[in-house]
């Protein structure tokens, strides 16, 4: 191994260590004192509930673990968006589980909480996955009600989705394991089956204090909406559980009886490990986002037996396209190339730029994968489309539009891995969040922005300097440097993978070595949902 490999390895392992440290803090939710308080009430934490519910020693992936990271500081923060979401297995069946974290503002819904719940439901709908709600929430966080209550993609969308999922035959099971108040009371009751934990679970549109204020009736919360009331008087809930574990055991028994599902039929054979060591990825991936590397070296450490069948290998070489298997599943891979390649036009340094011929190749490859019913995997390290008169005269906008069209209309499931850069229209063409990837996740090395920090800071600093000069201020070289450094620091913070993950632009930040697991579980989920419509590109400029 060369010195550069060792430097890259050290850098990427430090990024991974930072990821693990940050996530360890996130997993504490509202903190150890609040966890202890929950335990004293005889309740499990959201993460403990999910761990008990999922099959022991089975694989799982967490969606939106860093949601809310660094947000709402004036309100005390909202770790993990105040809700834990995992895809895992219950009695061998793949499900998605959504659990309110009562240690974070009593499980109240912040704007990001609503967005994360909707993302969980979106995954359930797209993949026809059973969804389990573990409810323990004080309802909408009132100081921010205007950002969570009235709009289309706000709190009310949850119940609309409940109704639509029910009509689609997607199993929904809800367990009320703590508070369930006001509008939130509709979520468990709009599920197919509802459980409630005796003495700790409660459901009502208005609590005892509000009832007293509204109609003058004096009543305690347990009599108003406890387990006995709803299991024996109102009939609102279907099962009474004596404690958290009893409720979770009942859910296991219900899930165990669910029948088999219609399959999409994606090709899978016996899984094989990569022939080349995946740990080498740490040394291959450069420390600097501007440095070159061969993306094929990454691909060969992600795919089964390190076997890759390249499509149009000698054409459009700034994009790699081809067929492989990941954990036994057949996939079509589209990846940005970052090395100097010798072509008939001479040596070309691609640096993650998409050229016209590459966009044309990708469009045709996407069409082929749709025809063959092969899921698509996008490996992003993209700085955008090629610019300049030669590219414009060659129709780069037309060819880029064809690729975006193909990505948009693709009917096979898509999965996006942000390896490094994800800039500008390149993010779109390589299946960014706006293009409905079933899962989109980033490595710690990822950066998401309209353009790189250095380029953006130069542009913005020039604009700021011109504005100051117009006001008669003296802007010398030192002042220009100061402006540049200040703007770049701010911009770099916004390109961080944590900034993106906190806002759910990505589903997670993961160890590169977990990439195979994420793609495999994602395709397994997608296999629950047969394709409903043919692939059609519509009108394109040829």
DSSP secondary structure, 260-306, as one string: P-------B------SS-GGGHHHHS-SSTTS-B-HHHHHTTTSGGG
Question: Per residue in 384-443, pLDDT tens?
Answer: 887 777 777 667 888 889 999 999 999 999 999 999 999 988 999 999 999 999 999 999
The Cα 487–Cα 471 span in angstroms is: 20
User: Which of these, 46, 51, 45, lies nearest to 90 by C-alpha position?
Assistant: 51
In the prediction, which pLDDT does 399 show? 84
224-229 own/partner pairs: CB under 8 Å, 24+ apart: 226/196, 226/198, 226/199, 226/201, 226/202, 227/196, 227/197, 227/198, 227/199, 227/201, 228/198
DSSP 230: I
In the prediction, which pLDDT does 346 show? 62
pTM of the model as a whole: 0.93
As given in the structure block, the two tokens for residue 224 are: 């108003």
Q: What topology is assigned to 31-256 in CATH?
A: 2-enoyl-CoA Hydratase; Chain A, domain 1 (3.90.226)
Extended beta strands in 455-535, E state:
508-509
Kindly list the domain boundaries of the chain, sorted by start residue. 1-30+264-446+506-541, 31-256, 453-495
Which residue blocks in 78-220 are alpha helix, DSSP H? Answer: 111-127, 156-168, 186-189, 208-215
The Cα 3–Cα 23 span in angstroms is: 30
The Cα 238–Cα 153 span in angstroms is: 29
The Cα 95–Cα 473 span in angstroms is: 62
As given in the structure block, the two tokens for residue 160 are: 């609309």
Instruction: Band the pLDDT of 348: cuts 50, 70, 90.
Output: low
Does residue 505 register a pLDDT over 90?
A: yes
Instruction: Band the pLDDT of 449: cuts 50, 70, 90.
Output: confident
As given in the structure block, the two tokens for residue 149 are: 């209550």
Instruction: Band the pLDDT of 343: cuts 50, 70, 90.
Output: low
Pair 519, 526: CB distance under 8 Å? no
The Cα 463–Cα 461 span in angstroms is: 5
1-30+264-446+506-541 homologous superfamily: 2-enoyl-CoA Hydratase; Chain A, domain 1 (3.90.226.10)
Pair 304, 325: CB distance under 8 Å? yes
The Cα 246–Cα 229 span in angstroms is: 19
DSSP secondary structure, 417-441, as one string: EEEEEEEHHHHHHTT-GGG--SEEE
In the prediction, which pLDDT does 392 show? 76
DSSP secondary structure, 236-248, as one string: --SEEESSHHHHH
Pair 117, 98: CB distance under 8 Å? yes
Pair 165, 121: CB distance under 8 Å? yes
User: Which of these, 331, 348, 338, lies nearest to 298 by C-alpha position?
Assistant: 338
Question: Per residue in 115-162, pLDDT tens?
Answer: 999 999 999 999 999 999 999 998 888 889 899 888 989 989 999 999
For residues 44-71, give the mean pLDDT: 97
Question: Per residue in 353-388, pLDDT tens?
Answer: 899 999 999 999 999 999 999 999 999 999 888 777
How many CA atoms, within 13 angstroms, populate the side-chain half-sphere of residue 480?
11
């Amino acid at each position: 191994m060369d010195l550069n490999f060792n430097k890259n390895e050290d850098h990427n392992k430090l990024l991974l260590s930072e990821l693990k440290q940050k996530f360890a803090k996130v997993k504490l939710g509202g903190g150890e004192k609040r966890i202890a308080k929950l335990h004293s009430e005889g309740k499990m934490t959201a993460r403990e509930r999910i761990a008990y519910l999922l099959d022991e020693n089975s694989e799982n992936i967490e969606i939106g673990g860093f949601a809310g990271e660094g947000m709402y500081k004036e309100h005390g923060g909202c770790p993990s968006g105040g809700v834990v979401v995992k895809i895992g297995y219950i009695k061998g069946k793949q499900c998605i589980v959504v659990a309110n974290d009562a240690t974070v503002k009593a499980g109240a819904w912040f704007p990001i909480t609503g967005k994360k719940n909707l993302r969980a439901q979106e995954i359930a709908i797209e993949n026809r996955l059973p969804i389990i709600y573990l409810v323990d929430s004080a309802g909408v966080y009132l100081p921010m009600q205007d950002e969570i209550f009235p709009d289309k993609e706000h709190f009310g969308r949850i119940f609309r989705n409940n109704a639509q999922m029910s009509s689609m035959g997607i199993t929904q099971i809800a367990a009320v394991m703590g508070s369930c108040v006001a509008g939130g009371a509709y979520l468990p009751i709009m599920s197919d089956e509802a459980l409630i934990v005796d003495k700790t679970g409660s459901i009502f549109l208005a609590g005892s204090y509000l009832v007293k204020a509204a109609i003058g009736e004096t009543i305690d919360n347990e009599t108003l909406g406890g387990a006995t009331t709803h299991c024996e008087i109102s009939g609102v809930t279907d099962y009474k559980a004596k404690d958290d574990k009893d409720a979770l055991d009942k859910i296991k028994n219900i899930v165990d009886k669910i029948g088999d599902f219609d399959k999409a039929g994606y090709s899978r054979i016996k899984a094989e490990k990569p022939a080349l060591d995946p740990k080498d990825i740490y040394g291959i991936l450069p420390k600097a986002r501007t440095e070159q590397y061969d993306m094929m070296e990454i691909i060969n450490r992600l795919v089964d037996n390190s076997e890759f069948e390249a499509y149009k290998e000698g054409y459009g070489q700034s994009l790699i396209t081809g067929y492989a298997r990941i954990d036994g599943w057949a996939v079509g891979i589209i990846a940005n190339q970052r090395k100097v390649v010798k072509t008939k036009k001479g040596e070309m340094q691609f640096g993650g730029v998409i050229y016209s011929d590459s966009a044309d190749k990708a469009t045709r490859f996407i069409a082929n994968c749709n025809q063959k019913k092969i899921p698509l995997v996008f490996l992003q390290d993209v700085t955008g489309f090629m610019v300049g008169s030669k590219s414009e005269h060659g129709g780069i906008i037309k060819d880029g539009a064809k690729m975006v069209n193909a990505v948009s209309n693709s009917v096979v499931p898509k999965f996006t891995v942000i390896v490094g850069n994800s800039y500008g229209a390149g993010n779109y063409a390589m299946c960014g969040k706006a293009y409905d990837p079933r899962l989109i996740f980033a490595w710690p090395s990822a950066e998401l922005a309209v353009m790189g920090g250095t380029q953006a800071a130069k542009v913005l600093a020039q604009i700021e300097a011109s504005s100051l000069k117009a006001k008669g201020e003296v802007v010398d070289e030192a002042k220009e440097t100061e402006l540049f450094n200040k703007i770049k620091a701010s911009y770099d913070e916004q390109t961080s993978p944590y900034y993106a993950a906190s806002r759910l632009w990505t589903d997670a930040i993961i160890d590169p070595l977990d990439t195979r697991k994420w793609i495999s579980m994602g395709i397994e989920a997608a296999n629950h949902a047969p394709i409903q419509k043919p692939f059609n590109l519509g009108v394109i400029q040829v």
